[in-house]
Amino acid sequence: MQGPETQPFLDHARILVTRPAHQAKALCDLIVAAGGEAILLPAIEIVPPDDPRTVHAVIDRLDDFDLAVFISANAVAYGDDLVRTHRGSWPPALRIAAVGRRSAEQLAVRGLPVDICPAAGYSSESLLADDALQEAQVAGKHVIIFRGDGGRELIADTLSGRGARVEYAEVYRRRPPSEGAAVFSRLLREGWVNVVIVSSNEGLDNLLSMAGPARPRLLQTRLVVISERTEAHARELGFELTPCVATESSDAGLVEALRACYAPAGAGGLE
Q: What is the pLDDT of residue 263?
A: 52
Q: Which of 175, 198, 225 is where one domain is finished? A: 175
Q: How far apart are CA 142 and CA 68, in angstroms?
A: 9
Residue 19 and residue 14: Cα distance in Å, rounded?
16
Kindly report, residue by residue over 56-73, the tens digit of the pLDDT. Answer: 999 999 999 999 999 999
- CATH, residue 140: 3.40.50.10090
For residues 20 and 42, what is the distance between their CA atoms, to the nearest angstrom?
5
Question: In terms of pLDDT, which residue wins out, 264 or 166?
Answer: 166
Last residue of a domain, one of 160, 175, 190: 175
What average pLDDT is seen over the chain?
91
H/E stretch holding 244 reads strand 244-245
Question: Which pLDDT tens digit goes with each residue over 176-216?
Answer: 998 899 999 999 999 999 999 999 999 999 999 999 999 99
Residues 52 and 147 in one domain: yes
Question: Quick one: average pLDDT of 122-139?
Answer: 94
**Quick one: pLDDT at residue 19?**
92
pTM above 0.85, yes or no: no
Is residue 204 a contact partner of residue 234, using CB atoms and an 8 Å limit? yes
* Paired sense of beta strands 165-175 and 45-47, if any: antiparallel
Whether residue 83 sits in one domain with residue 37: no
Residue 127 pLDDT > 70: yes
pLDDT score of 270: 54
pLDDT of 114 > 60? The answer is yes
17 SS3 class = strand
Main-chain dihedrals φ then ψ at residue 191, nearest 5 degrees: 70, 30
Give the range of the structural domain holding residue 55, as residue numbers without chain letter: 47-175
> Domain total for the chain?
2
* Whether residue 163 is found in the same domain as residue 236: no
Q: Decide which of 175, 196, 221 is a domain's last residue.
A: 175
In one-letter notation, the amino acid at residue 22 is H
Ramachandran angles phi, psi of 17, nearest 5°: -105, 120
Cβ–Cβ < 8 Å for 124, 145:
no
Q: What is the pLDDT of residues 86-102, one digit of tens each?
A: 999 999 999 999 998 88
Q: Concatenated DSSP letters for 169-207? A: EEEEEEE--SS-HHHHHHHHHTT--SEEEE--HHHHHHH
Does residue 207 lie in a domain region? yes
